[in-house]
Homo-oligomer: A and B are copies of this chain.
């Protein structure tokens, strides 16, 4: 039990914030955690399930006297919240966020914060397809990366404290520049999500292949796509609207490659296909070696609790 921040305010009580609460509680990382959500229904659920030591009814009550304020809300909601909490922040407090894009969050939040508050953007690379206050669990961040994207001139002590906080919740922490973060995530997360959403939408549209068949015979490939495509619609809308350039660049490259493979299929060019598929197999091996997944077969099912 090592208290890292006396008082933590979680703004937004979805998957990430609720997981942070359970991880903080497990580790004794805060003396008090105050939660706030815009929807009364979410606040009620939080009170019922014991999510947060206190659930505040207003943003102001949540952030006053807080040593760490975590913005765990859709990217599109960041600017309004930053403006609203500004007059109520304790001098010396740290404000961080967990948004999936970083340049847009910095542009939206940084101008609103006073100079005597440390703003250190962050992004835990962890999630499931579930959302809402009931979806969190203490182990979500175990052995996952959390990327910190500090602005120039960030106080090293405040940054080090935030790093220790994430590490105490189980994460590995790296530091990255905002634009590079947004490009890397466009490749590893944003474009794949849009592609999965698209494929699931196509299946839904097909009249000759009824819904029930698509669902019934959802072999490994499609089922994995549906899991990705079940993620929170508001969050993902905001991701694409706020990481537009990098996502569109990657999607452009994607369609270029896809057309080349389509042409190989049409022409019956088996060598092209075989060589391409052999190359992609190597990346998978790299991921397993990097410890970000296991080689154990998942029986084509996925989604098991360890």
Most buried by B among A198, A279, A294: A198
Does residue A244 face the partner (Cβ distance < 8 Å to B)? yes
Most buried by B among A145, A231, A262: A262
A187/B216 in contact, CB under 8 A? no
A299/B227 in contact, CB under 8 A? no
B217/A185 in contact, CB under 8 A? yes
A225 to chain B: which residues have CB within 8 Å? 192, 224
Does residue A108 face the partner (Cβ distance < 8 Å to B)? no
A240 to chain B: which residues have CB within 8 Å? 265, 273
Q: How far is the CB of A230 from chain B (nearest CB, A)?
A: 4
Bound Cα distance A192, B200 (Å): 9
Shortest Cβ-Cβ A-B pairs, 3 listed: A192-B221, A230-B284, A233-B277
Which of A23-31, A37-45, A250-258 lies at the interface with chain B? A250-258
Given contacts A197-B280, A204-B280, 16 further A-B contacts (CB under 8 A): A127-B300, A129-B297, A130-B297, A137-B299, A140-B299, A187-B203, A192-B222, A195-B258, A196-B221, A215-B283, A223-B293, A233-B277, A233-B278, A233-B281, A244-B266, A294-B303
A255/B258 in contact, CB under 8 A? yes
A221 to chain B: which residues have CB within 8 Å? 188-190, 192-193, 196, 228
Give A228's nearest chain B residue, CB to CB: B221
A204/B300 in contact, CB under 8 A? no
Q: How far is the CB of A120 from chain B (nearest CB, A)?
A: 19
Q: How far is the CB of A159 from chain B (nearest CB, A)?
A: 19
Which of A6-14, A109-117, A206-214 lies at the interface with chain B? A206-214
A/B interface sample: 19 pairs, CB < 8 A: A126-B300, A145-B216, A145-B217, A184-B217, A185-B219, A191-B199, A198-B257, A199-B254, A200-B284, A202-B257, A206-B250, A211-B286, A224-B228, A229-B283, A238-B270, A248-B265, A293-B302, A297-B305, A302-B302
Does residue A247 face the partner (Cβ distance < 8 Å to B)? yes
Among B193, B280, B294, contact of A304 (Cβ-Cβ < 8 Å): B294
Does residue A144 face the partner (Cβ distance < 8 Å to B)? yes
A202/B261 in contact, CB under 8 A? no
Bound Cα distance A216, B211 (Å): 36
Say yes or no: A284-B226 contact (C-beta < 8 A), given A127-B219, A192-B221, A293-B301. Answer: yes
A128 to chain B: which residues have CB within 8 Å? 220, 297-300
How many subunits of this chain does the assembly comprise? 2
Among B206, B244, B297, contact of A253 (Cβ-Cβ < 8 Å): B206
A292 to chain B: which residues have CB within 8 Å? 215-216, 218, 223
Q: How far is the CB of A178 from chain B (nearest CB, A)?
A: 15
A140/B217 in contact, CB under 8 A? no
Does residue A50 face the partner (Cβ distance < 8 Å to B)? no
Give A270's nearest chain B residue, CB to CB: B237
Does residue A153 face the partner (Cβ distance < 8 Å to B)? no
Does residue A194 face the partner (Cβ distance < 8 Å to B)? yes
